[in-house]
A and B are shown apart, each in its own frame.
Chain A
């Protein structure tokens, strides 16, 4: 044992890994946040900061997350590339809208869906990957009882893990949005306007919560099920149900409640539509699609069915951000509330659960 060895291993050194130190250097915000969390020690309870740092470092070193992030990044970036190509071809039309930069995110070009659809579909997978074995994995490995025997509150474990997941999601998404923007500027030559930037910022916050919803779903399942494989499959089932089947199911139920004949009355069609939308809004995916569509497509002025009479006299134009936020307020709060409720449920269950593997 030499002094050199001691010096190197000052606090928490993660030698061959992308750890805390490298993260801090890589992204100054990380250092700030870690520092703030350290000061929040009293507020969040002892140990949250320590667990948070370990979990973040685990996430960034985990192969499965890197693979998944690679998948999301490749699909999203390629869709943006195609979108940029489409925009270039019809630059004149695009310029008329005044929001060329946002088109990068919402345009589907040729055979590839838009960035928005790709992320709406694959984003949840990132959340599920981050959380599906967070609690039961520790239980099975026998580390949970050892960690809980240290002088920390029990909720430090689940809080630290959730915050670490949230932080990882934010960082990844930020990287994604920034690289998309970079590629977009390079390909189209058009920088984003102030209004577009603030819309992108809102989009970023919503997307973080969208992925965080799936993170809290997977944490809930990892609390409920003993086996990591079970919780992973259960979370995947919920994901597929919400992203694929919920929409179909909403249509079926609406058909059953208001059957539409061959020549339906307008009011019948309206009722049918309203029921279908109401049911599909139970799915967080729908909430996310609606909210982000409004944010990234400023000309979208309403969600749901509109009569032609209602549009009479309306001047086509973009919706100001304030109005757009008002329009998506229910969706956004619904999405955030779903995330928090899901986490709260897993928190309560975890706090009441027996430590032992029974």
Chain B
């Protein structure tokens, strides 16, 4: 059993009548990548600010590495690196100067700071732009500088708020790889808040679906999908070439298939079991080829939509 690094118990934050975070119970274990996923305004950033002691909880308790952020914010902030959403830097300072400033705020100065900053700039691929003013950086570069900034203090825990927002696909790939390397190579605990589910689902060890200040589902992505789709028929998306009537007919006769529906170039197959193997065998037996075969609606987007939907209905 791994140690619990971040733990909240019945955490509540109210802004007037609005409840931003509602009895939140969160547990993040050491070394894992934990995804806090939910729509905008779900209370993700508020939760993070409470974890850092930057805002006080209305009630409930928070513990980060055994420390209470409301009592000992400095202690928490010494070991937790935080990348805010829409991170900003001093535009008239260079990237290097910005990082040196952060290092100085952490009490790291002189040669040690210079060496650490140089290494981090190298690591995020900003060595060439290090002495350019941060005002000239692109969004993606700023985000990478932000990652370096988070690591300047040598944190044990890293909290990233919307790290992939507004970044091009290649940049997203780089950032996600970087986050994975933090967890795997350096054993850092990563808490990731995002509303871009499909982007981050693949790197998270565990996710929590966070809606209206509450966690409505938590666990590894596969587990979540198994739980929600337990009693539901599967939908397969198939594209045999050519899509003749005989092929469709043969597929519909496979045991377990309850219905088939043609929609444009695709054939949607509803079934009780995963019959993907049988379908491919059938298609090949009939001399056709298979252009596409996938299980529909089992990714996080669908899970999230389902959970969100049930949540809306029940309130």
Distance, CA A9 to CA B130, complexed state (A): 13
Question: Quick check: which of A26-34, A143-151, A183-191, A323-331 contacts chain B, the rest being far away?
Answer: A143-151
> Given A14-B97, A141-B91, A142-B84, do A152 and B111 touch, yes or no (CB 8 Å)?
no
A177-205: which residues lie under 8 A (CB-CB) from chain B?
A: none
Distance, CA A296 to CA B101, complexed state (A): 44
* Contact of A150 with B96 in the complex, beta carbons under 8 Å: no
Q: Chain A interface residue count: which class?
A: 20 to 34
Distance, CA A318 to CA B149, complexed state (A): 62
* Contact of A61 with B74 in the complex, beta carbons under 8 Å: no
Q: Chain B interface residue count: which class?
A: 35 or more
Contact of A142 among B87, B97, B105, B115 (CB under 8 A): B87
Contact of A150 among B55, B94, B105 (CB under 8 A): B105
A98-148: which residues lie under 8 A (CB-CB) from chain B?
A: 141-143, 145-148
Distance, CA A153 to CA B78, complexed state (A): 12
Is B228's CB within 8 Å of the partner chain A?
A: no
* Contact of A11 with B84 in the complex, beta carbons under 8 Å: no
* Contact of B84 with A146 in the complex, beta carbons under 8 Å: yes
Distance, CA A353 to CA B131, complexed state (A): 35
Chain B min CB distance to A136 (Å): 13
Contact of B114 among A9, A46, A58, A148 (CB under 8 A): A9
A contact residues around B80 at 8 Å (CB) = 149
A20-46: which residues lie under 8 A (CB-CB) from chain B?
A: 46
Distance, CA A148 to CA B52, complexed state (A): 10
* Contact of A151 with B105 in the complex, beta carbons under 8 Å: yes
* Contact of B92 with A50 in the complex, beta carbons under 8 Å: no
B73-96: which residues lie under 8 A (CB-CB) from chain A?
A: 73-75, 77-78, 80-82, 84, 86-92, 94, 96
A-B contact pairs, 16 of them (CB 8 A): A1-B118, A6-B115, A46-B74, A46-B107, A50-B105, A61-B92, A141-B89, A142-B86, A142-B87, A142-B88, A143-B89, A143-B90, A146-B87, A146-B146, A151-B74, A151-B153
* Contact of B118 with A6 in the complex, beta carbons under 8 Å: yes
Is B110's CB within 8 Å of the partner chain A?
A: yes
Contact of A12 among B74, B101, B107 (CB under 8 A): B101
Chain A min CB distance to B54 (Å): 5
* Contact of A150 with B88 in the complex, beta carbons under 8 Å: no
Pick the most buried of A46, A143, A146, A152: most chain B CB atoms within 10 A of its CB: A146
A contact residues around B146 at 8 Å (CB) = 146
